[in-house]
Amino acid sequence: MSATLIRIPHADARGLLHRLLLVSSAGVLCVSLVYFLLGCCDSDVSENAPGGSSGPGTTGTPGLDGDGAGREWTASRRLPQALIIGVKKGGTRALLEFLRLHPDVRALGSEPHFFDRHYARGLGWYRSLMPKALDGQIVMEKTPRYFVAAETPARIHSMSREIKLIVVVRDPVTRAISDYTQIISKTPDIPSFESLTFKNRTSGQIDSQWSPIWIGLYAKHLERWLAYFPLSQIHFVHGERLISDPAGELGRVQDFLGLQRIITDKHFYFNKTKGFPCLKKPEGSSKPHCLGKTKGRAHPKIDPEVIQRLRDFYYPHNLKFYQLVGQDFGWQ
């Protein structure tokens, strides 16, 4: 039996070949798309894509409108380039909130306590807490306990030798009373400030190991930092002037951080009820922004004799601190 040869018209053959090519191209495209979706690209691209969250306790990424929107794809989590390291009840929260006005500052809102409490978790964990930042933005956080914790200068130095450090200092007597005021708001049954101030009230010996008094020994704590960092990398904010002249203090901090002076007088007004400056009403908000109700608490009345004893106690320590930093803060 002879085989029957089926002849396909030339035009039909070309059409069949064209359809086969189309099907083949569609298949390749589908496979490529599936491969892409399954993670061939860097996962950080999707994490940093526009509309992504900056995470809890962080500010939103500023400056991304207009042609800046494309730059958000380069945003990443970095270790901080600046730290507010102290002191407790000196004005660190106010300073952080004021600095967050600056478009080139990306600051963690909460206190991570990495270098004093969570160091064993590692730098990767620490970095994961930071807000995403663009090139040119400064990442920072604040934990006031760093200044007095003995182990923190060496740990921070091992992370970065060039990091910039900010310390907000305040009259140590007023700071101690403010510290005590916070303590009694949480534990109202503790002894009086006067009784805790002295090892022996009769002899008048100050208990320098009591935390509210010990923190105010600024020179003692600073000496540890100067063993690792030059004074040029440490900026001291005058706590009293942060209240009376916030724009002036913020101007000096912006200079220290190498930032343009964007935060100025126009951003502040003085709240007489609270007794400290607040931020003026931001655009799109219905009310001005003041710090929380825990800030600006009324201090308990302290025996003037005890206050004078404390001033006498701190006097030589303050003088040494002035000499170390080359600045007289004028505490009486």
pLDDT of residue 285: 55
Is 281 one of the annotated active-site residues of the chain? no
Residue 170, annotated as binding a ligand: yes
**Distances from the Cα of 83 to the Cαs of 41, 236, 252, in angstroms?**
34, 12, 16
- Strand locations in the chain, DSSP E? 76-77, 82-86, 105-107, 132-133, 138-142, 164-169, 198-200, 205-206, 234-238, 268-271, 276-279
d(C-alpha 146, C-alpha 221), whole Å:
10
Residue 52, annotated as binding a ligand: no
Average pLDDT value over all residues in the chain: 82
Q: What is the pLDDT of residues 259-271, one digit of tens each?
A: 999 999 888 877 7
Residue 178, annotated as binding a ligand: yes
- Per-residue pLDDT band for 224 (boundaries 50, 70, 90) equals very high
Residue 25, C-beta contacts closer than 8 angstroms, at least 6 positions apart: none
Q: What is the pLDDT of residues 130-179, one digit of tens each?
A: 999 999 999 999 999 999 999 999 999 999 999 999 999 999 999 999 99
Q: For the chain, which residues make up each domain, given as ranges? A: 2-48, 58-325
pLDDT of residue 74: 85
Q: What is the mean pLDDT of residues 251-259?
A: 98
**How many CB atoms sit inside 10 A of residue 322's CB?**
16
Is the CATH number 3.10.20.600 carried by domain 58-325?
no
Residue 91, annotated as binding a ligand: yes
pLDDT of residue 61: 38
CB–CB of 94/276 below 8 Å?
Answer: yes
Residue 296, annotated as binding a ligand: yes
Active-site annotation holder among 88, 89, 142, 164 = 89
User: Per the structure block, which two tokens stand in for 105?
Assistant: 């500052």
Q: What is the pLDDT of residues 197-220, one digit of tens each?
A: 999 888 889 999 999 999 999 999
pLDDT of residue 142: 98
- Is residue 42 over pLDDT 60? no
